[in-house]
Amino acid sequence: MRADRLVAGLLVLQARGRVTAAQLAAELEVSVATARRDLEALSVAGVPVYPQPGRGGGWSLVGGARTDLTGLTEAEAAALFLLLGPAARGGPAARTALRKLVRALPGPFREGARAAAEAVVVDDDARWGGTGRPRPPVVGLLQQAVVRRRRVRLAYPDREGAATVRLVDPWGLVDKDGVWYLLAGTSRGRRTFRADRVVSAEVTDEPAQRPEDLELDAVWDEVVTELEGRRSAVVAAVLVPAALVPVLQSLFGRHCTVGGAQADGRVALRVAAHTVRSVAEQLAGLGGAVEVLEPAEVRTELARIGAELVARHSR
Confidence band of 84 (pLDDT split at 50, 70, 90): low
Last residue of a domain, one of 79, 95, 117: 117
Q: Grade residue 67 by pLDDT with cuts at 50, 70 and 90.
A: very low
Task: Find, among 71, 52, 68, 69, the residue nearest to 60 by Cα.
Answer: 52
- In 3D space, the residue among 9, 11, 13 whose CA is nearest the CA of residue 63 turns out to be 13
Give me the sign of the Cα torsion angle 82, 84, 89, 94.
negative
CATH number at residue 260: 3.30.70
Alpha-carbon 315 to chain mean position: 46
Per-residue pLDDT tens for 185-202?
Answer: 998 888 989 888 999 999
Instruction: Tell whether the model's pLDDT for residue 132 goes beyond 70.
Output: no
**Averaged over 7-11, what is the pLDDT?**
72
The pLDDT of residue 129: 46
- The boundaries of the domain holding residue 266 are 232-313
Which of 84, 100, 117 is at the close of a domain?
117
Of 70, 88, 117, the one marking the end of a domain is 117
Residues 170 and 205 in one domain: yes
On whether both 131 and 223 belong to a single domain, the answer is yes
Do both 218 and 254 map to the same domain? no
Are 265 and 225 in the same domain? no
Q: Bin 260: left if φ > 0, else alpha if -120 < ψ < 50, else beta.
A: beta
Helix (H) or strand (E) holding 15: helix 2-16
Bridge partners, 207 (sequence order): 150
204/236 same-domain check:
no
Above 50 in pLDDT, residue 131?
A: no
Query: Any idea what the CATH number is for the domain that residue 184 is in?
Result: 2.30.30.520
| Number of domains within the chain | 3
Res 280 pLDDT > 80: yes
Over 70: is that where the pLDDT of 227 sits?
yes
- Please check whether residues 238 and 217 belong to one and the same domain: no
pLDDT at 101 (0 to 100)? 59
What is the model's pLDDT at position 82?
59
- pLDDT of 244 above 80: yes
pLDDT, tens digit, for every residue of 211-222? 877 777 788 888
CA angle 15, 60, 90 (to 5 degrees): 70
Residues 258 and 209 in one domain: no
Same domain for 241 and 161, yes or no, is no
Q: Left if phi > 0, otherwise alpha if psi is -120 to 50, otherwise beta: which for 60?
A: beta
If you average pLDDT over residues 145-162, what whole number do you get?
Answer: 86
Q: What is the mean pLDDT of residues 43-50?
A: 72
Residue 290's pLDDT band, with cuts at 50, 70 and 90, is very high
Same domain, 220 and 250: no
* Angstrom distance (rounded) from CA 94 to CA 87: 8
pLDDT of 265 over the 60 cut: yes
Decide if pLDDT at 283 tops 80: yes
**17 in Cβ contact with 66 (< 8 Å):** yes
Claim to verify: residue 96 and residue 132 sit in the same structural domain: no
**What angle, rounded to 10 degrees, do the helices at 92-104 and 107-117 form?**
150
Q: Is residue 272 over pLDDT 60? A: yes
CA distance 77 to 167: 28
CB 21 within 8 A of CB 36: yes
For position 66, what pLDDT does the model report?
A: 43
Q: Alpha carbon of 259 to those of 35, 107, 262, 274: distances in Å? A: 42, 56, 9, 21
Q: Are residues 111 and 6 in the same domain?
A: yes
Q: Rounded mean pLDDT of 256-275?
A: 92
Same domain, 225 and 297: no
The conformation of residue 64, written as its DSSP 8-state character, comes to G
The distance of Cα 203 from the centroid of its chain, to the nearest Å, equals 22
Task: Calculate mean pLDDT across residues 30-54.
Answer: 78
